[in-house]
């Protein structure tokens, strides 16, 4: 059931909802959340006005919109998820992509993403092992020389970890299990000492690049969309500033591995909170950054202006309770400019199947996996 338009700026991440990579143009990057009585709701930005969100009951979406086969399958997967966090939605999205319903490139991208995530988790776990050995004053040079993936390296590691567990007054199995929990939580971000950044840290770096690029465009473009682009850059910078602070806090806490193991419950709860906050902060920005990157590959200011207007409609404002700065008032002022610049194209987002638009979204989906 359609509930109607609600206010533009959310108060919390949960109220903002998690972005869903649907391929149906009308639903692309809409957000899903738990509403009254934990029922799923889809938040659809109002079409040409630039402000307001339409809240639609999850079960009613297939009846209201002609969905692609991929989106119907993804819709079914999300219903089965217990939560609506970015990680839960991402997991469902990758499962749907692997079915091949969004094209072969999306299948390839999903498989590669899953492989990279497993490699990152293994790398993070290894680095945490080395951190524990260092924290208790045990030499790990022999392990590094032998290589952790060799029988000798694994034998030496087990010996050293048994000694480390004794020094920490815990069972070796418990120590291994706790390091695995830390790795599972932190791997999507990556450790400060990691030679390879995690997915979320790469996303933060891409967001910085997006901010610089669209800010330059806003200064150079002779277009009514220029103020809209400048606002998108401001929202990106606001998100980056918070993300950098949260990232620094997370890295400092994980670096103090001894403290985590001594005060496990409290420290691990905080690490999970910080990692989740980074995921929520960056949720939806990968699509935006890739969409802008694709737009800039074409030397077409008119097309770029259209992309700017679309990005404004889905720009993820930081919720009011998550920051000491509220950009919703400025968003309302920019919306007036947005309405003027988008008026000529206001009918493009309809419920009708647009094959060309679906193909563009599928290409973008493959890039942003």
Q: Who has greater pLDDT, 239 or 358?
A: 239
Looking only at the bridges linking them, the beta strands covering 2-6 and 18-19 are unpaired
What integer pLDDT is reported at residue 344 of this predicted model?
40
Per-residue pLDDT tens digits for 287-296: 999 999 999 9
Q: What is the 3-state secondary structure (H, E, C) of the chain?
A: CEEEEECCCCCCHHHHCEECCCCCHHHCCCEEEECHHHCEEEEEECCCCCCCEEEEEHHHHHHHCCCCHHHHHHHHHHHCCCCCCHHHHHHHHHHHHHCCCCCHHHHHHHHHHHHHHHHHHHHHHHHHHHHHHHHCCCCCHHHHHHCCCCHHHHHHHHHHHHHHHHHCCCCHHHHHHHHHHHHHHHCCCCCCCCCCCCHHHHHHHHHHHHHHHHHHHHHHCCCCCHHHHHHHHHHHHHHHHHHHHHHHHHHHHHHCHHHHHHCHHHHHHHHHHHHHHHHHHHCCHHHHHHHHHHHHCCCCHHHHHHHHHHHHHHCCCCCHHHCCCCCHHHHHHHHHHHHHHHHHHCCCCCCCCCHHHHHHHHHHHHHCC
* Most confident of the following: 35-39, 161-165, 195-199, 350-354: 195-199
What integer pLDDT is reported at residue 105 of this predicted model?
87
Quick check: 2 pLDDT over 50? no
What integer pLDDT is reported at residue 335 of this predicted model?
65
pLDDT mean over 183-193:
96
pLDDT band, very low/low/confident/very high, at 214 (cuts 50, 70, 90) = very high
Looking only at the bridges linking them, the beta strands covering 40-45 and 18-19 are unpaired
What integer pLDDT is reported at residue 251 of this predicted model?
97
Residue whose C-alpha is closest to residue 215's, from 194, 201, 186, 236: 236
pLDDT mean over 48-72:
78
Quick check: 364 pLDDT over 80? no
Q: Across-strand partners of 31?
A: 19, 43
Q: Who has greater pLDDT, 69 or 329?
A: 69
Q: Across-strand partners of 40?
A: 34
Per-residue pLDDT tens digits for 236-258: 999 999 999 999 999 999 999 99
pLDDT mean over 106-115:
91
pLDDT band, very low/low/confident/very high, at 29 (cuts 50, 70, 90) = confident
Distance between CA atoms of residues 41 and 31, nearest Å = 8
What integer pLDDT is reported at residue 5 of this predicted model?
41
Q: Who has greater pLDDT, 107 or 144?
A: 107
Quick check: 321 pLDDT over 60? yes
- Report residue 135 as tokens: 């924290």
Task: Pick the range with the lowest mean pLDDT from 11-20, 192-201, 262-271, 298-307.
Answer: 298-307
With pLDDT > 70 as the criterion, what percentage of the chain qualifies? 82
Quick check: 164 pLDDT over 60? yes
What integer pLDDT is reported at residue 18 of this predicted model?
95
Mean of the per-residue pLDDT values of the chain? 84
For tokens 């079409």, what's the residue? 47
What integer pLDDT is reported at residue 150 of this predicted model?
73
What integer pLDDT is reported at residue 353 of this predicted model?
45
pLDDT mean over 110-126:
94
What integer pLDDT is reported at residue 339 of this predicted model?
59
Quick check: 141 pLDDT over 70? no
Q: Who has greater pLDDT, 31 or 334?
A: 31
Quick check: 277 pLDDT over 50? yes
Give residue 186's Cα distance to chain centre. Answer: 14
Task: Pick the range with the lowest mean pLDDT from 162-166, 197-201, 304-308, 332-336.
Answer: 332-336
For tokens 């202006």, what's the residue? 305
């Amino acid at each position: 059931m359609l509930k109607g338009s609600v206010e533009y700026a959310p108060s919390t991440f949960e109220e903002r909802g998690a972005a869903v990579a649907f391929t149906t143009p009308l639903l692309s990057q809409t957000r899903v959340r738990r509403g009254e009585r934990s029922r799923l709701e889809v938040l659809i930005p109002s079409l040409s006005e630039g402000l307001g969100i339409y809240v639609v009951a999850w079960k009613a979406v297939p009846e209201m919109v002609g969905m692609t086969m991929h989106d119907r399958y993804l819709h079914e997967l999300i219903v089965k998820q217990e939560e609506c966090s970015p990680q839960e939605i991402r997991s469902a999205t990758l499962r749907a992509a692997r079915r091949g319903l969004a094209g072969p490139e999306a299948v390839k991208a999903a498989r590669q993403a899953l492989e990279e995530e497993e490699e990152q988790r293994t790398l993070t776990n290894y680095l945490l092992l080395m951190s524990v050995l260092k924290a208790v004053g045990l030499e790990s040079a022999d392990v590094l020389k032998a290589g952790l993936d060799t029988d000798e390296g694994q034998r030496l590691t087990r010996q050293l970890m048994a000694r480390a567990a004794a020094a920490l007054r815990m069972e070796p199995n418990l120590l291994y299990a706790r390091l695995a929990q830390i790795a599972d939580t932190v791997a999507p971000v990556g450790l400060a000492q990691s030679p390879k950044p995690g997915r979320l840290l790469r996303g933060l770096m891409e967001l910085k690049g997006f901010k610089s690029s669209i800010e330059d465009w806003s200064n150079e473009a002779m277009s009514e969309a220029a103020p809209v682009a400048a606002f998108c850059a401001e929202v990106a910078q606001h998100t980056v500033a918070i993300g950098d602070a949260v990232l620094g806090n997370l890295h400092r806490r994980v670096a103090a591995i001894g403290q985590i193991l001594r005060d496990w419950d409290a420290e691990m709860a905080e690490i999970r909170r910080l990692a989740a906050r980074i995921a929520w902060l960056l949720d939806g920005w990968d699509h935006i950054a890739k969409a802008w990157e694709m737009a800039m590959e074409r030397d077409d200011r008119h097309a770029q202006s259209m992309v700017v207007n679309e990005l404004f409609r889905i720009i993820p404002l930081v919720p009011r309770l998550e920051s000491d700065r509220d950009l919703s008032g400025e968003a309302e002022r920019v919306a007036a400019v947005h309405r003027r610049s988008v008026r000529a194209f206001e009918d493009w987002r309809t419920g009708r199947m647009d094959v060309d638009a679906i193909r563009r979204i599928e290409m973008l989906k493959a890039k942003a996996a």
